[in-house]
Structure 1
Amino acid sequence: MAINSSTFIRQDMLAPQPAPLGVSGASHWFRTKLFATPKDTVLTILALALLAYLVPGMINWLFIDAVWTGSDRTACATVIQGGVLPDGQSGACWAFVDAKFQQFMFGRYPLEERWRPILVAVLFVILLVPMLIPKVPHKAWNALALFIILPFISFFLLIGGFGLPHVETQLWGGLMVTLILSFFGITVSLPLGILLALGRRSQMPVIKTLCVIFIEIIRGIPLVTVLFMASVMLPLFLPNGWTFDKLLRALIGVSIFSAAYMAEVIRGGLQAIPKGQFEGADSLGLSYWQKMRLIILPQAIKLVIPSIVNTFIGLFKDTSLVSIIGMFDLLGIVTLNQSDANWSTPVTPITGYVFAGFIFWLFCFGMSRYSAFMERHLDTGHRH
């Protein structure tokens, strides 16, 4: 076919050209992110000056002047305090953390039986990792093993039975209790929160009223009060001879408290779903539960992933409140060991709190990063 002389059709694509100078590289990033305006420049300089003032001292206290080994308080105390360190040198006492590390992890769990919580932790990691990787298949079987079978096996491994010596929950403590409370609370609060959110949006007045009352009452009182009621007041309403394990009361209190907040998070996601999605599901002849399970809830949960993870992070940190009912999680066991006269120094308490804070930050940061990863993985929106 003849082509008009005024018409031009390119036969080959042009090769990609490098970005213009000045709009890429480290210098461009610094210029646009840190020194774009006079105000940004002033703030950047002030921030750098503050870091230059604080960071060297922190590094010096945490690592350079820190004491890493020792058998008692004399290793971390100065001469004037009855120790061996030169006066004026008082770095972190990591020897205290090293000496008490086993208690920080397991509390007063019998030393010869600590292989049992270690085995539970290994099984938990083995089942959790494939659950968190989207490409790993058989998620239904994985979830069954992680959320149903593992708790059943862990119960008998930790508390005893089938030939294993009985270990009272009063001896449990440290990071082990923190993780047990968090895992149980997360596992229970999410499905319970979904049911409460659906109930609050129900067209049945009785169901809706009961869900609203439950959510508003629980959200209106602090977790300390919920734990106190579960631990102290609940036994008063039980028949004579009936009792609940203290750990079980804490698990119930933490779970229902978190479920009330989770319900409002899920409800926010449900309200964000366009009405057309509900009408489309109805036009297909789906039942209520099919509509929610297959169409509405997957979209609603995807929308509120940051809020869900934020609730989980808050739950993980709130486990430290169980110390008011006589249980010692990671923070509680660290505080308890600071009263040991063999390690009584001015730097021992802050070292213990820095260690506990780092462990809490590590888990919370991990949940936050995984939340961001799932947001990117599930992002099916159209990008311009």
Structure 2
Amino acid sequence: MPNAGNAPPAPASTALPASRITVWLRRRIFSSRRDAILSLTVVVLLAAAVWATVPWVLVNATWSGASRADCTQEGACWAFVVTKAPQFIYGFYPPMERWRPNIAFTLLIVGLAWLMVPRIPGKTYAGFFMAVVLPLTTYVLLRGGFTGLPLVPSDQWGGLLLTLILAVSGITFSLPVGVLFALGRRSRLPLIRWFCIGFIELCRGVPFVTVLFMAIVMLPFFLPLGMKPDPLALAVIGIIFYEAAYMAEVVRGGLQALPKGQYEAAMALGFGYWRTMLHIILPQAVRKVVPGVVNTTISLLKNTTLVMVVGLFDLLNIVSAGVSDPLWAGSQAEGYFIVGLVFWLMSFGLSCYSRAIEAGFARAERS
């Protein structure tokens, strides 16, 4: 009978959960003295941060009230956020017509789920829905002015609604425009190549605020006399072309990373330029630049807050307007905390989706 002390250890799959946790801690957290010190330091700092913020955020917070005077001095005044929440979401959109933004939010969620969930088929139709159907439907629905829908000018749109309009429009259209500029920068035709290089370097060399001012202030001078374009439309155009310059450089890096044999194989099969790009080169290049595209997308999302300098009331600007209310003077911390939380959730969601896409590509390459 074998000695119990010399028996082989149980397989990891049959080990107790506590044993697996212990093994994981020893290998990943406390594998050396240095790692143990660093890990304990991080734990202490996180615990101190939680100890300092939780009482202010939750324990001593005030959740209801008609003004700042109803809130305690020791905790957060979430009554300000609860009271101003409709304004933070819809801006100055008429309360009786807010069912229209709600439909637009629903269509956006449906489109994103259709496009981003791998198990849902019809990604080509999902792309068409996000690029054509959703923008047109959202604009017509929100603006109104037909079939009994009251006209709501875009200067009454604001808050999270306006932020999502700017972000989704910029993300949806800047990538295809950036792909065209990336292809143009690698073109053999000198005029097309020089134009694309000049545009990309111009947009990357000036601040985003400058591009917004050029779109809002200077572009109308080049339009026919008496024509007054919508400031929101001009801001969207400025965002698209500014971010397209960065997307172009990201995509160009992916194109340069592909071996020359891919182009030669396509030529050997008799593919033309556009068939080669659409069916062979671009699908491979996009796989290589997913992190860069997502990084640029997150930057675009945060840059939408700069439209406040041209008078558009995005989420950040609408919160600043709410803080200026005399009844809620001193609520800057709570308002800006919500703004930061919303942008962090959106950015973190994009980052998680990017990692999921990269993991899917890695599994596909291994199989």
Give the TM-score normalised by structure 2: 0.93
Aligned to 1:352: 335
Alignment counterpart, residue 225 of structure 1, candidates 210, 214, 219? 210
Per-residue CA distance 1:35-62 (angstroms, 9 max, x = gap): 2222212212222222222211111111
Distance in 2 between the 1:215 and 1:202 partners?
14
Instruction: Identify which range, 184-193 or 156-165, moves more after superposition.
Output: 156-165
Q: 2:118 aligns with which of 134, 137, 152?
A: 134
Is 1:373–2:366 an aligned residue pair?
A: no
Q: Structure 1 residues 300 and 112, CA, compared in 2 at 3 Å: closer, same or farther?
A: same
User: Distance in 2 between the 1:17 and 1:201 partners?
Assistant: 59
What is the deviation of 1:17?
6.8
2:106 alignment partner, SS class: helix
- Residue 169 (structure 2) pairs with residue 184 (structure 1): yes
Query: Structure 1 or 2: larger helix share?
Result: 2
Quick check: which has more Rg, 1 or 2?
A: 1
2:316 and 2:339 in contact (8 A); partners too: yes
The partner residue of 1:41 within 31, 36, 39 is 36
Task: Give the alignment of 1:55-134 within 5 angstroms.
Answer: 55-76=50-71, 85=72, 89-134=73-118
2:45 paired residue number: 50
| Gap runs ≥5 in structure 1 | 1-15, 77-84
Distance 2:34 2:11 in 1: 32
In the TM superposition, residue 266 of structure 1 has moved relative to its aligned partner by: 0.2
Helix, strand or coil at the partner of 1:196: helix
Deviating 4+ runs (over 6 angstroms): none
Any conservation in 1 of the 2:12–2:20 contact (CA below 8 Å)? no
1:5 counterpart residue number: none
Task: Work out which of the residue numbers 19, 22, 25 in structure 2 matches 1:30.
Answer: 25
Q: Distance in 1 between the 2:242 and 2:195 partners?
A: 16
Q: Deviations over 1:173-208 (max 9, x none)?
A: 000010000111011101000000000011111111
The alpha carbon displacement at 1:232 in A equals 1.6
- Aligned pair count reads 354
Q: Which letter maps to 1:361?
A: W
Aligned counterparts of 2:30 and 2:80: Cα–Cα separation in 1: 44
1 CA distance for matches of 2:47 and 2:358? 35
Matches within 5 A, 1:156-305: 156-162=140-146, 163-305=148-290
- Single out whichever of 164-173 and 41-50 deviates more from structure 2: 41-50
The separation in 2 between residues aligned to 1:17 and 1:44, in whole angstroms, is 29
TM-score by length of 1: 0.89
Instruction: Give the equivalent residue in structure 2 for 1:336.
Output: 321
Q: d(CA) in 1 for partners of 2:303 and 2:41?
A: 35
Deviation sequence 1:231-286 (CA, Å, 0-9, x none)? 12222333321221110110011110100000000000000111111111111000
1:31, CA displacement in angstroms? Answer: 1.5
In the aligned structure 2, how far is the partner of 1:201 from the partner of 1:224? 29
Provide the rounded CA distance (Å) in 1 between the counterparts of 2:262 and 2:221.
Answer: 48
Aligned partner letter, 2:54? I
| Aligned-pair identity (%) | 47
**Aligned mates of 2:275, 2:132 — CA distance in 1:** 23
Q: Distance in 2 between matches of 1:285 and 1:177?
A: 47
C-alpha displacement of 1:142: 2.4
Amino acid at match of 2:211: V
1:18 aligns with 2:11: yes
